[in-house]
Amino acid sequence: MIYNEDFETLPREVLETLQVRRLQQVLQRAYHTVGFYKKTFDKAGIRPDDIKSLADIGRVPFTTKQDIVDNYPFGLFAVPMSNIVRLHASSGMKGRATVVGYTKRDIETWSELMTRCFVAAGLTKNDIILNAFSYGLFTGGLGVHYGAEKLGASVIPTSGGNTKRQLMILQDFGPTAICCTPSYALTLAAQGREMGVDLKALKLRVGIFGGEPWSDKIRQAIEDAFGIKALDLYGMTEVMGPGVSIECIEGRKGMHVFEDHFIVEMVHPETGAILPPGEQGELVFTTLTKEAFPLIRYRTRDLSRFIIEPCRCGRSHIRIDRIKGRSDDAISIRGVNVFPAQIESVLTGIKELEPKYRLIVDRAGTMDTLEIQVEVNEKIFSDSGEVRVLQNIERRIAKDMKDYLGISAKIKLVEPNSLPLAEGKTAQVLDKRQI
Ligand code: DLL
């Protein structure tokens, strides 16, 4: 099902014509109302009228997180405060938070895009949606909430945390869909099992998860635990919040970006050069319709690639592959750069393990050290009366890390459900070197 068929299935040429028109408008607006953009465009020697086609966008300067931080809190707003009806801020997991504003129309657009997401996930007004994304400055809670209401579904705004109560509501209110971070879905599953809840007997059909990186192995674990279909939802505070992009239930491979509202580019994370279709790189977004906080060529640092094959759902909007991590997430261990996602993909190749791990980076003298703590599954844990079984698995992981990633790591297998449970986003890396 498609919510806004007119726009979501536009033939590529028509879509691109619309994008160019909207791009020219947003460049004009940004240039004339936000001092920062006037300065950067002038410095690069370009004027908004110079941009005549999509190909010209490469001439426009990038905007970075640092630029937003430098203009903290409201320096990049393009409308007076009297037109702003809502403020949000990024979770600020790393460094200072970024603050964004929305006009009334921005909230309407955001709600529509979230509604499109729900319809892409196969939901209708007859669904009951439990929204366990945090309500507050984080965009997850309210962003998802408004979309669910616009759909006409019944929303249960549980917000994050309070896991036992969430499980009670899951049983008593019978939601048919759930929205939260993937790690919180695993937390709910673990806590539910401990309380003896029959998770498969719940009415849940679909789960919409996002806000942090996850993998197909985690998808499988969530789907198996609840007997649901799990879909990937992507977005970030600066660009809008959740609803920039989602997997459709028909394709379930890669997330459609709502291209009538955003231009998405794939660039080389170091050089910034635009990459040929299909190559992995960093996502760059330009908002086409936002009034309060237009954002031009924003470097997300998120790594992905375009899936260019058409999707069977009928949407013409391009898909991006699961986010592979962030280019600023790389941890340097004795000079070797590794991404948590790479470590995860080695771990998920080993069937005795659960998809729950934690990386602890430290320094012994002048040497960086990496400890990988990973949960073993129930079966191995109960069979592992013999220490040898665990030692063999540890040795195998250490060897795989060396062979595939070229890093030496100390491996520590831990009991199922012993790593800290997530309530919102999880921090999988603990870098003690910076503390
Ligand atoms: O996390 C918005 C959101 C809320 C998206 C709920 C989806 C669901 P921020 O707190 O600004 O906004 O964090 C944005 O989180 O740049 C990615 O690095 C990461 N991220 C978000 N969704 C996904 C996803 C929200 N589906 C940052 N897969 C982004 C991987 C994701 N990473």
Ligand 1 centroid distance, CA of 380 (Å): 33
Domain end call among 276, 309, 327:
327
pLDDT at 244 over 90: yes
- Per-residue pLDDT tens digits for 68-92: 989 999 999 999 999 999 999 985 5
- What tokens does 100 get? 């964004």
Is 23 part of a structural domain of the chain? no
Domain end call among 327, 356, 388:
327
Is 25 part of a structural domain of the chain? no
Is 13 part of a structural domain of the chain? no
One domain for residues 342 and 319:
no
Q: What is the mean pLDDT of residues 97-111?
A: 96
- The DSSP bridge partners found for residue 387 are none
Residue 131 CA to residue 177 CA, distance in Å, equals 9
Does the beta carbon of 239 lie inside 6 Å of ligand 1? no
pLDDT class for 93, splitting at 50, 70, 90?
Answer: very low
pLDDT at 4 over 80: yes
Check if the beta carbon of residue 352 is closer than 8 Å to that of residue 393.
yes
CATH number at residue 346: 3.30.300.30
pLDDT at 384 over 80: no
At residue 97's C-alpha, the angle toward residues 294 and 214, to 5°, is: 90
The closest-lying atom of ligand 1 relative to the alpha carbon of residue 233 is 26
One domain for residues 268 and 379:
no
Domain end call among 288, 304, 327:
327
- Total domains in the chain come to 2
Is 6 part of a structural domain of the chain? no
One domain for residues 154 and 243:
yes
32 phi/psi in degrees, rounded to 5: -90, -15
Domain range for 394: 336-431
One domain for residues 319 and 423:
no
One domain for residues 215 and 343:
no
Ligand 1 centroid distance, CA of 82 (Å): 29
Is 176 part of a structural domain of the chain? yes
Is 370 part of a structural domain of the chain? yes
Please give the pLDDT value at position 385: 66
Is 21 part of a structural domain of the chain? no
Which alpha helices (DSSP H) does 195-285 contain, by range?
Answer: 216-226
Does the beta carbon of 141 lie inside 6 Å of ligand 1? no
Residue 428 CA to residue 155 CA, distance in Å, equals 30
One domain for residues 237 and 384:
no
One domain for residues 405 and 356:
yes
One domain for residues 215 and 340:
no
Ligand 1 mutation pick, 118, 234, 255, max ligand atoms within 8 A of CB: 234
Q: E strand or H helix at 67, and its extent?
A: helix 65-70
One domain for residues 204 and 258:
yes
Is 189 part of a structural domain of the chain? yes
One domain for residues 151 and 277:
yes
Closest CA to 57 of 44, 39, 71, 38: 44
CATH number at residue 175: 3.40.50.12780
One domain for residues 414 and 266:
no
At residue 23's C-alpha, the angle toward residues 22 and 25, to 5°, is: 65
One domain for residues 153 and 98:
yes
> Considering the entire predicted model, what is its pTM?
0.89
pLDDT at 413 over 90: yes
